[in-house]
Structure 1
Amino acid sequence: MDSVQGRELDRREVLRRLAAAGAVGWASPMIISSPASAAGVFTAKCAPGVVTAGAPSFSQTGCTGTGTTITVTITFAGPCRCGGVSTWCVQKNSPGGVVSSTTPTISFSVSVPISQTITINGRVALGCTDRDGDRQFAVYNWTMTARDNGTACTTASSVTPVVLTGRTLVTSIACPSLASMMPTSAPATSTTRSTGTRPPG
């Protein structure tokens, strides 16, 4: 045992001498009893919680023999684990033009050809601030579908729930880019051939 300790002391002495000669760097061991979170490093326990989407609501604002126009409203929710103000960035990317919101609720209009289903997609980000002032966003892709049922105008439209995928974490003061991360989906044609007419009603 003594010989092992002696070799260890000899090794440390050699390192000190080399450091004095400029050959190696030497730093005495340090014990940190209460480390503080360094600025610019996000505290994991303060990361945004899981983001969810409520059931989308819609109102039909147009109905003709060739299709319907609906206005869809989606409300997202999610916690900031360390409290503080939540920062929301929501965007509808396709189809049609981009629509953005800085609240957890977004509304937009889409047109649906008669007897067809379209895919609607976008992105949502929830930003939370940790104990040392850094802000981290949880970013998701979201998607849903809307359908023109080909029936009378009173029952012409329907939508599916929002699906959230691809959670990623981004440290940023401002909202991260919400540009589409997926190709724009073409309308999925139903098995019912579009005739350009709609039953009366």
Structure 2
Amino acid sequence: MINGIVISGCSGVGKTTVIKHLLRLHPDFAFSVSYTTRPPRADEVDGKDYHFISREEFERKARERFFLEWEEVYGCYYGTPKLPPDEEEGTTRVVIFELDSKGALNLQQKFPQFTTIAIIPPSVDAIGARLRARGSETDESIAERRRHIAEELRRLQHLSYCVVNDDIEATAREIETIILAQFHRLPFLGAKIDELLELLA
């Protein structure tokens, strides 16, 4: 069984940085690499951060039902690939998905057993500062993203958990606590209970 962890948040909240820190803490965790048609940023690696493909290739994959879910965000496509068979059979215990709020809600609806976590900023000003720090955003694109913050936050209210990202390391540790707690849920320990019941029969 997969312990699916969906991490979401509005643009500039720092979810990618938090996830990278979390994966350094737990190299045994798997990361679902999404597909996108947006150009890579300077520090992004194709196949590791995202699979960067053309709109034509993305649309072909969408027609072929390659994705678990996909959305168009800020004029670019983003898609979550279906899990390979070995992961579906439970060989990977934790799989982390990084999605926007629409994608997170889509995956939550399709896989209600997955854990969904919203990362929110300590303030609206913090988002603007983080977007400028990327070096890839213009004043116009930052203004557009800020206009969508309220809409994003309303969707994030429907996820299971919420963590305020005021410090990268502290946020990663909080999410780590949430993830590790999921291993004690009955869907993951049911087999152990069945084993004990058989011994008592």
TM range (shorter): under 0.3
Q: Which of the pair has the greater relative contact order for Cα pairs under 8 Å at 6+ separation?
A: 2
Greater helix share, 1 or 2? Answer: 2
Greater strand share, 1 or 2? Answer: 1
TM-score (norm 2): 0.23
TM-score (norm 1): 0.23
